[in-house]
A and B are shown apart, each in its own frame.
Chain A
Amino acid sequence: NAGVMQNPRHLVRRRGQEARLRCSPMKGHSHVYWYRQLPEEGLKFMVYLQKENIIDESGMPKERFSAEFPKEGPSILRIQQVVRGDSAAYFCASSPAVEASNQPQHFGDGTRLSIL
């Protein structure tokens, strides 16, 4: 499967725990985007990363949320001290490096995070 791979597909955490969501972009893609989808809502942009660089984090909450895309390995979205309001579907998308702004983003299947 050469598509965007996200894991886990479902993640359950208790309030106060940490959640780590992983995303491996499509082969040949070096741009990664994270989005959050609340129930009955559209996707909301969170952060845009290239390898080892955060390009745009204007959609990230100021506290508890962080993202990285290391030189090796998947991109990680980390949520510390989770609260009930963090329950949502988190989608990762990737696009090629060349002229990323006009390339369609290819989405993973998402991680559904549930907070007990």
Chain B
Amino acid sequence: AQTVTQSQPEMSVQEAETVTLSCTYDTSESDYYLFWYKQPPSRQMILVIRQEAYKQQNATENRFSVNFQKAAKSFSLKISDSQLGDAAMYFCAYRGNTPLVFGKGTRLSVIA
């Protein structure tokens, strides 16, 4: 069974600085998709960024980018120029031939 591990329960970052959230996963599948979701205090689940495993190029969405290392099964999220509105729980998720599998999340605090 696929598993997703987020080893950092909590992280903090100064406003305008950069932070990296870690995610590793375990799978025997070769085709899959990886996602980062943001869950602010309102509890919405907001898709931040998505990566197809067959693409070598790392996905980027404005201030959000990923470092996808397929051989290492690592999928970290980098947030640049952190803003107060980035404070939230961040969940890494995997999807192959199974429904979405989520990690336990990392709570990100942004310090003004």
Q: A residues near B, CB below 8 A?
A: 33, 35, 40-45, 48, 56, 59, 89, 91, 93, 101-102, 104-107, 109-110, 112
Contact = CB atoms under 8 A, between A and B. Distances in A.
Contact of A48 (B37, B50, B99, B102): B99
Interface in B55-107: 91, 95, 97-105
Given A43-B45, A109-B43, A59 B91 contact: no
Contacts, number: 52
B102 A42 contact: yes
- Chain A: interface secondary structure? strand
Interface residues of B, number: 23
B33 A102 contact: yes
A45 B99 CA distance: 7
Given A102-B33, A102-B52, A104-B35, A56 B47 contact: no
Identify which of A40, A42, A109 gathers the most chain B CB atoms within 10 Å of its CB. A42
A42 B104 contact: yes
A42 B43 contact: no
**Those 5 A-B pairs whose CB atoms lie nearest each other, nearest first:** A42-B102, A107-B45, A45-B99, A43-B102, A42-B104
Given A104-B47, A107-B44, A109-B42, A56 B102 contact: no
